[in-house]
Amino acid sequence: MLDRDLLRPPHPLLLEPVVRRALEEDLGRAGDITSELVVPSDRRATALLVARKPGTIAGLIVAETAFHLVDPSLVFRFERQDGEDANAGVGLATVEGPARSILSAERVALNFVGHLSGIATATAKLVDAVAGTTTRIVCTRKTTPGLRLLEKYAVRCGGGFNHRFGLDDAALIKDNHIVAASGIAHAVTRVRAGLGHMAKIEVEVDSLEQLQEALQLGVDTILLDNMSTADLRRAVELAKGRAILEASGNVTLDTVRAIAETGVDYISSGAITHSAPCLDVALDF
Residues 85-144 that bind a copy of itself (CB under 8 A): 99, 103-104, 107-108, 110-112, 114-115, 118, 136, 138, 141-144
CA–CA distance from 205 to each of 161, 176, 184, 241, 243 (Å)?
A: 21, 11, 9, 17, 13
Q: Between 8 and 242, name the residue whose CB sits nearer to a copy of itself.
A: 8
Helical packing angle, 99-129 and 60-70, nearest 10°: 170
By CB under 8 A, name the one of 148, 233, 234, 257 that touches a copy of itself. 148
Catalytic residue check, 21:
no
* Distance from C-alpha of 247 to C-alpha of 225, rounded to nearest angstrom: 6
Contact between 281 and a copy of itself by CB under 8 A: the answer reads no
Residue positions counted in the chain? 285
Residue ranges in 28-57 that form contacts with a copy of itself under rule CB under 8 A: 28-41, 43, 45
Best CA proximity match to 191, nearest among 242, 207, 199, 179: 199
For the four alpha carbons of 25, 91, 52 and 98, in that order, the dihedral sign comes to negative
The closest of 69, 77, 105 to 93, measured between CA atoms, is 77
Question: Of the two residues 79 and 280, which places its CB atom closer to a copy of itself in the complex?
Answer: 280
Give residues 190-249 in contact with a copy of itself (rule: CB under 8 A).
190-191, 193-200, 202, 220-221, 244, 246
| Count of chain residues binding a copy of itself (CB under 8 A) | 104
Query: Is 42 designated active site?
Result: no
Of 9 and 86, the one with the shorter C-beta distance to a copy of itself is 9
By annotation, the residues acting in catalysis are 107, 142, 174, 204, 225
